[in-house]
Chains A and B, each alone.
Chain A
Amino acid sequence: MTQAGKYSEGDWGDGAELRTIRDKFSHFRRLLDHNHQALEILGDMEEKSQGKYLFDLNFIRSRLADLRANVSEIIRCLVTLGGDHYQVLQERFTLIDDQIELVFPSNRPIREDAYCRRFDTLSRMNSYSVGSKNAQLGEMISKLGLPVPAGFAITAWAYKRFIDSNDLQNRISERIDSVDIRSFYDLVRVSGEIVDLIRASTVPNDLAEAILEHARGLTTKVQEARFSLRSSAIGEDTLFSFAGQYASYLNVRADQLVRRYREVLAGKFTPQAIYYFLSHSLSESELAMSVGCVAMVEAAAAGVVYSRDPVNPVDDHVLVNAVWGLGKFLVDGTLTPDNFRVSRRGKLIEAQIADKPVQLVMDTHGGTVSRPVPPKLRQKPSLTNKQLRNLARYAVLLEDHYACPQDIEWVVDQKGKLLLLQTRPLQVQAIQPGTPLPDLSEARVLVSGGNTVCHGAGCGRVHHVTSAHDLPSVPEGSVLVAPNPFPGLVTVMNKVSALVTRVGGVASHMATIAREYRVPTLTGVPDALNLPAGEIATVDATGAVVYHGRLDELVQARHPEYNLSDEESIFDILGRVLDLVSPLRLLHPEDDDFQVENCVTLHDITRYAHQKATEEMFYRATDIADKERISLRLKTDLPVTVGLVYLDRGRRASGRRGWVKEEDLGSIPMRAFWNGVKQEGWPQSGGDEHALKLTMKDRGALPFSENSFAALSEEYMILSLRFGYHFATVEALCSDNINKNYINLQFSHGGSTFDRRARRVRLMTRILREMEFECRTKGDFLEATVSYKDAEAMVSKLTRLGRLTIMTKQLDMALSTDQVASWYLNDFLKRLDLVEVPVPADRPEKGSDR
């Protein structure tokens, strides 16, 4: 067989063959090692998910990194052991890993991809390469058939090409490391330096050519065509929202594309963005930039649709904000938009039509320009009922598809056709109903009205700002008042107690950040600028009123309860990661579905690899020479098959016809262990009866055992034991030298629920401790070691271990409660002549353990 070819060369005398076997054995040992580590990590993660521990994202991140490293090594060992056809396991691993990445973005190295990818070749699985924004556009086309402008993504791999070819990584890192995060001026300084660095760099030719070629593919008349470039950061919009932090360019000519691309990359390093990712402990290499390039749509109207009201998600309405022209004036807070409330079936419930004096349109020379809106249109709705109906339909469809509320950007072209530009999860919040409000009849109202952008109430001294230059002087705890929700406000978000703006709707980049930072915020308050500077005021964002003075009771009463996507706890996150990591779908190697393509979790991969490695080690070895010498089997009455390999025997040491009698085992530790197994015998009835019945019932009639294997020498044994659904590895050295002797037991798996498996591990731990083992457990994984005992003691421990292995076979099925477990514990301790634990307990009622 080809996979064994690696080992079939050379002289098949005793020496060469043994070398080969030992060589294989060392890879096998390595694989076992990594397998044990992987299982230990899995056990640890499961344990932490049970709720008794407190942990952070970093814990998940570092455990995942360890797990990935071990799984990679396992696959590498298996490939070395069994040949290149096991590379498919690597592909499977990559596939699962991509899904994990979606659930939990990490700082994986940037993966190789084309420099440019058309949207219609993308789905959300590509977000590691093209960023969430681009990937979702691909998903909308390829999975949902929704109208999206033609376009392509310039990938993270292209970003890496640009950064590497200009040696930018180190130069940027140095500057970011030097920032004093407390100083706005310092952020501005460093931002400027980095932007200059990037502007002074060259986009390499191959990359520039790829961009232009794809641009030509979007249109027949490339000379006249106009494009827009938008950032799509990797990891954006997943666990962290990065709304509006990055630059985008509209109405770009083809000959300006490459230069603008570089500008978008430079725009990643705004003071706000640097502040944001420093204050979130992200490193900038975690945030490679992809850029989306789409054929420019000449917008008649544009805006945002929320599939739910972000501040009142239970009312089931779709919310649409719209302005004339391009959407930028809406999201940057320049204009108060039209505000439509639409039912989920598309019926208009409520419309607040705003006065829209200006609109942003494409300039003939490139770029955009602000133009007055014709007087007759200023106060007209910027959308028709039909368009609103379609928007609502798309929004509901997207919410269903992603199973969470969505925040969608759209545009209507000159012909009235609706196109979607972006979708992403919407952060929603809800207040606890029935919070009693204090009596406010005596309170003096300063101003009222406006849109609740973020619930709650806050009080402090009124402080007015008009532009980013005013921001450094904003005092801690103030009520901040601004003419419009300009993006720079994000830098003071965690200093202020409330925010009020004269212009603005519910949907702007600043609004998203305000909700994230939970700053009570009102926008579109007509008289906001009349608020008296320096006076104490209380902003009731929920009630859309600003009161004079400090109303602490109101602030208390309005304290919001957050829920839905905003309130995803770290346990939910770990749970979603574990779904892709931990459940074991591949149970039995003899099942038809024990196949690489059925590996859906990392646990499956380790299980599969472990099984195949065992087979490679002990079966395939038989292909390289005659079976009689290597494929030895233990001759036993018990219904188990144990393959044997002798590490210290040459040709002569074989048993005839491949069978080794129990009394001829030769290996001291193996004999001791097997004596224990024999002594206990295969369970017929009694203690395990119930467990076996359960097995048959729950799993169908499966054989009780599958192949187990042992590699042996006179004084050494490594035994890989499979009984039912659990497996154990027992390694032992039993010699005259007391300092070398050890037994190491590793134990995991099981067919039943986690708590039952964990109970069995606890039970085994108790018994093993009585036997002087040092035990370490992580979840349902157990490792026990004993060393520095003389040969006689080792033999007696191994015999007990053999008995214990049979006693606990499939016991997890029966351990439905702690009471049952303690009954078994007593029973076992007694039978093993170990100390009895003083827990008086009768055998629990049958059925009480169901």
Chain B
Amino acid sequence: MKGRILAVDDELHMLKLLERVFAERTQHRITTTNNSLEVAGILEQERFDIIITDLRMPGMDGMEILRWMADNDRDEQVIIITAFGSVDSAREAVSLGAFDYINKPFKQEELLFAVDRALHFAAMRKDFKQAHKLFSIQPLSKATEQFTVTYIRRLALTVDNDPQVVAERSGLNLDEVKRLLQKENDRKL
């Protein structure tokens, strides 16, 4: 799974290490900043899957980032990195919505594992939100229509968006498949 990661730490050294680890060992794309005051600006311009942030920083600290995320209804999963021995504040961060916390210093694997779990969690949450939305559509005919669109789109993703194959596998006729995929594209635009 490819993820987009934003890393925030006031220490450039740590950011460089993170950049290196993700570049060498994963497919994830990482953006970094050592100025936490930039975080809001960056998030307003761009969406990420995961935010990795130091807890104690000048400017906006990890807790404030979490609050900002909650206030702005953001979906990014936050992994907090804390200095040795501040487990209590890390727990507080989790109660504020952080996905996980990691104590510094930490092994590369620890972080990569946390990122992996966070990505899976984010994907599940997205599915769940979508299903929840689907179930609240009324009347049933509209919900069914929306379900079919989603169904076709997901199927299309697994077969290189080939309408012919989608039609064969779904049992719908080709024109119908094309119409539904077109509708999805229109919605995107």
Write the residues of chain A forming the contact surface with B, with a CB cutoff of 8 angstroms: 48, 52-59, 62, 181-182, 278-281, 476-477, 494-495, 569-570, 573
Contact = CB atoms under 8 A, between A and B. Distances in A.
Contacts of B117: none
A56 B103 CA distance: 11
Given A181-B59, A281-B10, A281-B58, A55 B104 contact: yes
Interface stretch (B14-22, B131-139, B154-162): B14-22
Contact of A54 (B37, B41, B58, B106): B106
30 contacts: A48-B105, A52-B108, A53-B105, A53-B108, A54-B18, A54-B105, A54-B108, A54-B111, A55-B105, A55-B106, A59-B104, A59-B105, A62-B83, A181-B59, A182-B37, A278-B58, A279-B10, A279-B35, A279-B58, A279-B59, A280-B58, A281-B57, A476-B41, A477-B41, A494-B35, A494-B37, A494-B38, A569-B13, A570-B14, A570-B17
Interface hub of B9, B37, B58, B105 (most chain A Cβ within 10 A): B105
Contact of B104 (A58, A569, A573): A58
A62 B103 CA distance: 14
A437 to B, nearest CB: 23
A494 B56 CA distance: 19
A419 B108 CA distance: 50
B7 to A, nearest CB: 11
B175 interface: no
A638 to B, nearest CB: 42
Contacts of B104: 54-56, 58-59
B113 interface: no
Contacts of B17: 54, 569-570
Contact of B14 (A52, A54, A280): A54
Interface string B106-129: 111001000000000000000000
Contacts of A280: 10, 58
Interface in B36-83: 37-38, 41, 56-59, 83
Interface string B26-40: 000000000101100
Q: Which 9 A-B pairs have the closest CB atoms?
A: A55-B105, A570-B13, A53-B105, A56-B14, A494-B35, A56-B11, A278-B58, A54-B17, A59-B105
Interface hub of A182, A279, A494 (most chain B Cβ within 10 A): A279
A286 to B, nearest CB: 14
A195 to B, nearest CB: 21
A59 B38 contact: no
A184 to B, nearest CB: 12
A570 B14 CA distance: 8
Contact of A56 (B9, B41, B58, B59): B9
Given A53-B105, A494-B38, A58 B83 contact: yes
A564 to B, nearest CB: 14
B105 A181 contact: no
Contacts of A55: 14, 104-106
Nearest to B44: A476
Nearest to A562: B16
A48 B9 CA distance: 19
A280 B56 CA distance: 12
A733 B57 CA distance: 48
Interface of B: 9-11, 13-14, 16-18, 21, 35, 37-38, 41, 56-59, 83-84, 104-108, 111
A278 B58 CA distance: 6
A769 to B, nearest CB: 21
Contact of A181 (B11, B58, B83): B58
Nearest to A58: B83
A476 B37 CA distance: 11
A672 B106 CA distance: 41
Contacts of B14: 54-56, 570
Given A569-B16, A570-B13, A181 B84 contact: no
A729 to B, nearest CB: 26
A54 B18 CA distance: 8
Nearest to B85: A62
Nearest to B109: A52
Given A181-B59, A476-B41, A569-B13, 14 more contacts: A52-B107, A52-B108, A53-B106, A54-B14, A55-B106, A56-B14, A59-B104, A62-B84, A181-B58, A279-B58, A280-B10, A281-B58, A494-B37, A494-B38
Given A181-B58, A182-B59, A569-B13, A54 B21 contact: yes
A53 B14 CA distance: 11
Nearest to B16: A569
A569 B15 CA distance: 11
B24 to A, nearest CB: 11
Contacts of B106: 53-55
Contacts of B13: 56-57, 569-570, 573
Contacts of B58: 181, 278-281
Contacts of A573: 13
Contacts of B107: 52-54
Nearest to A51: B108
A569 B37 CA distance: 24
Contacts of B105: 48, 53-56, 59
A373 to B, nearest CB: 41
Nearest to A275: B58
Nearest to A516: B12
Contact of B37 (A48, A56, A181): A181
B12 to A, nearest CB: 9
Contacts of A181: 37, 58-59
A476 B42 CA distance: 10
B29 to A, nearest CB: 13
A182 B106 CA distance: 31
A670 B9 CA distance: 53
A494 B41 CA distance: 12
A107 B107 CA distance: 27
B10 A59 contact: no
A281 B13 CA distance: 14
Nearest to A44: B105
Contacts of B21: 54
Interface hub of A56, A280, A573 (most chain B Cβ within 10 A): A56
Interface hub of A54, A57, A58, A569 (most chain B Cβ within 10 A): A54
Nearest to A495: B38
A589 to B, nearest CB: 34
Nearest to B105: A55
A52 B105 CA distance: 10
Contacts of B35: 279, 494
A281 B107 CA distance: 24
Contacts of A59: 83-84, 104-105
A55 B107 CA distance: 9
Nearest to B83: A58
A52 B24 CA distance: 13
A477 B106 CA distance: 34
A53 B17 CA distance: 10
B27 to A, nearest CB: 19
A52 B17 CA distance: 11
Nearest to A45: B105
B106 to A, nearest CB: 6
A633 B127 CA distance: 76
Contacts of A57: 11, 13
A563 to B, nearest CB: 12
A58 B11 CA distance: 9
Nearest to A494: B35
Interface hub of B11, B13, B38, B108 (most chain A Cβ within 10 A): B13
A494 B8 CA distance: 14
B86 to A, nearest CB: 11
Contacts of B41: 476-477
A59 B14 CA distance: 11
Interface hub of A55, A570, A573 (most chain B Cβ within 10 A): A55
Contacts of A477: 41
A261 B153 CA distance: 73
A476 B14 CA distance: 24
B62 to A, nearest CB: 13
Contacts of A279: 10, 35, 58-59
